[in-house]
Amino acid sequence: MVAKLTIENVSHAFGSPGGRRALRVLDDVSLSVEAGEFISVIGASGSGKTTLLRVIAGLESPSAGAVLVDGEKRSGPGGKMGVVFQRDSLWPWRSVLENATFGLEMRGVNKAEAGAKAMRYIEMVGLGGFETWYPHQLSGGMRQRVNLARALTIEPDILLMDEPFAALDAQTREIMQLELTRVWRDTGKTILFVTHQIDEAVFLSDRVVTLSARPGAVRATTVIDIPRPRDLRTKRTPEFQAYVGDLWELIEAEVMKSFNARAPAAPASTGS
């Protein structure tokens, strides 16, 4: 059976400001994700988590390797993927409904059909009744719900999420984790989720992928064998805490490596 998402030996490097040296960010990353799986990616700052997501989304072309969806090589953005970034990036002059329909409008879907489809997901993320409100009238958590509704409205097979709850307060973040698991259960989407929060990764995921310090490579893949559905009480169980502790031990050495890593030497000055 073909995996929903396959990452084959992906490496990526960025050029230095002077163009003389390259900064390797990803190193031979391979991962297979089945349809309907929830996978989280963790790692030290600078380990390439966001770059990996951008490569998968088609927003960056890898230096080597390939990304396949349903066995077919991916060569650009769009198609079967939706992306939710850390910042909500909502259009301030568009209402909740108008923001949610934006992707469908770009695909030429008529206004009535786009609105009906968007309302389904606006209600799914708990914003029914707020469809005429504007971003400046919403809390941070509500804005991210709009962001999620917008991504879901295009009905992607795969949802890529790059630290979408990082800017939220602790209580709102936990509520959004619960809401995301409910939406995931109701839609059956395949989700790849980047986070710095180890407990968040354990709570949400079927598997947690840990990247090494830069250049990011798959350090380990941990299966989270905690029954679903999960609620916030799950986080207080010994089983949950054991997973968090094991992942902290796994990532600690990588974090120290990232602190001690040196940037490539700057190009020599040519003078005046």
Helices (DSSP H) in 58-169: which residue ranges? 96-100, 102-106, 111-124, 140-153
Q: What is the DSSP string of 223-239?
A: E----SS--GGGGGSHH
Tokens of 44: 């030290």
Q: Residue 32 pLDDT > 70, yes or no?
A: yes
CA 144/CA 125 separation, integer angstroms: 10
Tokens of 222: 């941990």
Q: What is the pLDDT of residue 85?
A: 87
pLDDT tens for each residue of 214-240:
899 999 999 999 999 999 999 999 999
Q: What is the pLDDT of residue 271?
A: 47
Q: What is the pLDDT of residue 23?
A: 85
Q: Residue 6 pLDDT > 90, yes or no?
A: yes
CA 251/CA 237 separation, integer angstroms: 21
pLDDT tens for each residue of 68-99:
999 999 877 766 899 998 887 899 999 999 99
Domains of the chain: 37-60+76-80+158-262 (3.40.50.300), 85-155 (no CATH)
**Strands of 72-73's sheet, edge to edge?**
22-33, 5-15, 64-69, 72-73
In this structure, are strands 207-211 and 190-194 parallel, antiparallel, or unpaired?
A: unpaired
Q: What is the pLDDT of residue 264?
A: 56
Pick 86 or 147 by higher pLDDT. Answer: 147
pTM here is: 0.89
pLDDT tens for each residue of 171-221:
999 999 999 999 999 999 999 999 999 999 999 999 999 999 889 999 999
